[in-house]
Structure formats: structure tokens, C-alpha cells
Amino acid sequence: MWKRAFSRSAPQLWNSLPPDIGLRAVLKLPAAVLRESSAALCSAASVKLWTNRPSLLSGPKARSVTGSFAVPQPVRQYARAPKIKKTGPESQLSDLPPTMLKMDYAAVPLAQTTDDIVRRLLSLELASHTEKLQLKKEQLIAKVQRDENDRSSEEVKVAILTARIRNYQEHLQKHHKDKANKRRMLMAIDQRKKLLKHLRLIRYDAFEKVCEQLGIAYTFPPEYYRRATRRWLAKKEFCIKVFKAVQKQKAEQRLKMKNLGSTESKAAETNAAEIQ
């Protein structure tokens, strides 16, 4: 670095020396003198470089001082616009009022007449997420259950799975990398689909009621699709031939049994006529 700067500043250094001095005298100068002269020339060149670029400085042109750099003025930091927070969908627990008592104390008459501090401790204001979720499950079960003691019907199972699925969805919106809970949510969705499909086949009115009360949009499963390969087509054609052959044999056996039964009935009738 110093050698490069000295090689560039060598002509200026030669011009700054007296004209009557020779090359041998310059080479015999001590290294300290040459070092100081080259450093002075480099600092002057750098100051000139900084002062000749007004675009690097903000504001009026700064005065250049020998042996120092021009310091740009500080830039004003203007206030940024506040970031708008994204509002996600409402939680299924948002409709639960904080003044509602917990499920264990709702049927206790003494809890209704206690003071405010104890009532706050027994209400949902200081309840955990698990307690709120349990209360929400009970509310969904009460909408679709057949009677007061119904706890094992398909409608009740669908209600419990619905509350669990919505809880998983709210959790995954905040923690989208939680693969374990995502797997549990997908398993619960598949289980609920099977229950709804079976309920739709055996009790269509109950199926419509469950979907309406719980706000479930039932989508039909896609049709079965399989890529038609030559091996699969040959196997399918062979299975169809076997099926037709079996059906033909069964039809022949039924016809044979029918003819045998008719002949036996005719023989029985003739025997009865002969006896008479």
C-alpha cells in the first residue's frame, strides 16, 4: 500500500525538491524524510478527492482542511409509518363471556351469591385455555345430542372432533411449523369425514342438522381414479370375464333347480292323483 502511494507521488516529490539536487542525493536521503513527504502528499490527495465530490456530502459544501477528511452532515431520520397488524379469523372461544362461570361451578347455587373476588376466580376471566375449550365442547354437544344423556352417538363425536379441529387450526395459524399438531388435525378431519359419510347414509336428517348447527361445509370425496396401464386393463378384462362366467354358471344352476323342482311337484301331483 505504501509503495503504491509512493510510486504515484514520486513525480510530485521530485518536483518539490530543489532543482540543484541530484538523483544520488535523493537516494541518499534518510527513509524517514521520504516517508513523511509521501504521507503528506497522500493526505492532500485524499482531501482533494473528498472535496471534489459534492454528491457524497449532504447539504452545503464542507470546507477542506489539510490533513483531515470532510465529514458529511448527519441525515435526518424521518418517522416511519406504523405497520398494520394482520387480523386473523376470530377464535371459537371469543363468544364465551368472561363473566360466565366455569363448567364445574355453573350448577353450584353458592357460586352465584359470592363476592366479586371469588366470582372472578370461578369465572372464565381467569380460566385456562383447556377449561374454555371443554366448555365450548359442551356447548357444541348440546346443539346436536339426541337427549340429555347422549354421549356416544355419531352426532356427539362429530361435535367433539369439530371443536378439536378448530382448536388445532387456531394453533397452527400462530405456529405453522408445528408438524405434530398438523398431523393430529389431519387425522381428526379424516375421522370426522368418515362419521359424516356414514351418518349421511343412514340418517340424512340428522346429517343436515349437524352440518347446520356446527357450521360444517361437507364436500363430497373425489371419484376414484387410477392410471390405466396395459397390465391393469388386461387384469380388469380378465376379472370381467371370470365374473360373467360365474354369473352364467349360477344362472344355469338356478334354472336346473327350478326345473327339478317343477318335475318333483308334477310327480307329487301324479302320485296324489293315483292314490285318490
Domain housing 30: 2-53
Neighbours of 59 (CB within 10 A): 10
Domain membership of residue 107 (yes or no) is no
The predicted pLDDT at position 76 comes to 66
The predicted pLDDT at position 124 comes to 87
The predicted pLDDT at position 237 comes to 94
Domain membership of residue 252 (yes or no) is no
The predicted pLDDT at position 27 comes to 53
Domain membership of residue 241 (yes or no) is no
Domain membership of residue 93 (yes or no) is no
Q: Which of 161, 179, 214 finishes a domain?
A: 214
The count of structural domains within the chain is: 2
Predicted model pTM: 0.52
Instruction: Find the length of the chain.
Output: 276
Domain membership of residue 207 (yes or no) is yes
Q: Which of 28, 53, 78 finishes a domain?
A: 53
Of residues 204, 197, 203, 199, the one with CA closest to residue 221: 197
Rounded Cα distance, 174 and 178, in Å: 9
The predicted pLDDT at position 62 comes to 44
Cβ within 8 Å of residue 144, ≥6 positions away: 155, 156, 158, 159, 209, 210, 213, 214
pLDDT tens string 165-189: 999 999 999 999 999 999 999 999 9
Neighbours of 31 (CB within 10 A): 7
pLDDT tens string 191-236: 999 999 999 999 999 999 999 999 999 888 777 777 889 999 999 9
Using 50 as the pLDDT threshold, list the residues of the chain that sit under it.
Answer: 1-3, 5-6, 9, 20, 45-65
Three cell numbers, residue 156? 356427539
Rounded Cα distance, 184 and 188, in Å: 6
The predicted pLDDT at position 6 comes to 45
Percentage of the chain modeled with pLDDT above 70:
69
**187 phi and psi, to 5 degrees?**
-65, -40
Q: Which of 53, 71, 95 finishes a domain?
A: 53
Q: Cα 139 from chain centroid?
A: 28
The CATH number assigned to the domain holding 156 equals 1.10.287.10
Domain membership of residue 182 (yes or no) is yes
Of residues 92, 17, 12, the one with CA closest to residue 45: 12
Domain membership of residue 8 (yes or no) is yes
Q: Across all residues in the chain, what is the average pLDDT?
A: 78
Three cell numbers, residue 208? 343436515
Cβ within 8 Å of residue 211, ≥6 positions away: 196, 217, 218
The predicted pLDDT at position 3 comes to 45
The predicted pLDDT at position 47 comes to 44
Domain membership of residue 36 (yes or no) is yes
